[in-house]
Amino acid sequence: MVDGTNGSLAGRRALVTGSGHGIGAGIATALAAAGADVVVHYGQSADKAEQTRQQVAGHGVRSTILQADVTRTVEVDRLIADSVDFLGGLDILVCNAGHLVGREAVATMTDDHYASVMEVNIGATFRTVRAALPHLEKSDHGRIVTMSSLAAQNGGGNGSTIYAAAKSAVLGFTKGLAKEIAGSGTTVNALAPGFIGDTPFHDRFSPPEAQQTMIAGIPLGRAGQVSEVASAVTWLCSDGAAFVTGTTVDITGGAWFH
């Protein structure tokens, strides 16, 4: 992995969606530590996004926060336009924004719940990438990193079937897009994290006993760390990964093998 202190991404221009807290905040900060200028995107929590921006700025790079509902095309288009205006271009796009929304069984799931889960995961990824592509393809270092999940590989836990389906769609989208735009030199890769501790995701959707059960099933015997996901992103965005595209990086502690 890339050492985040060596300026390996110096001068690169990055947008990280859903970076107000949790894994997204860790990714934004790691990219900044490697020298990239970063736009911190948030959906609802401006205070947390500002905290992330301050962490990013602490690495001596340019940073700002921008709000957008990533399920709405008009707002995504504005987000990309404003990001490019601030950064002066775009080299790195990390589509981290996503959500379980809630645990619901398929038999009792409403159309609205289904649509919400699909839109905030695969829909948001598609819209953000579509708007960003003209700018990324102008870069000599274009990088797209999408966010899938272990759930895409194993179907997820109880009540997360549609979430697993949405994250599986992200994997298919990543592979297809990697081939579609390979001629531009822009790489496209996905992350599929397993149980990552100290994030709002599991605190909200998984009771403590369920969390302990999940951790007990990890061969390495512990939860993953946000920094371990962030370091994978930093590497994928570096020159060292310029020949890596269309792949999925499983960050699961051995809970899933290809």
Active-site residue identified among 163, 195, 205, 235: 163
- Three-class DSSP category at 72: coil
As a whole number of angstroms, the distance between CA 250 and CA 258 comes to 9
> At 99, which amino acid appears?
H
Is 163 considered catalytic here? yes
Residue 175, both tokens: 């592979």
> At 169, which amino acid appears?
A
As a whole number of angstroms, the distance between CA 49 and CA 47 comes to 5
H or E element, residue 146: strand 143-147
What angle do helix axes 111-118 and 161-180 make, rounded to 10 degrees?
40
Residue 152 CB partners (closer than 8 Å, separation 6+): 164, 167, 168, 170, 171, 192
H or E element, residue 32: helix 22-33
Q: Kindly state the greatest CA–CA separation across the chain.
A: 51
Of residues 84, 91, 79, the one with CA closest to residue 187? 91
As a whole number of angstroms, the distance between CA 78 and CA 83 comes to 8
Residue 174, both tokens: 């990543």
Residue 48, both tokens: 């947390």
Active site residues: 163
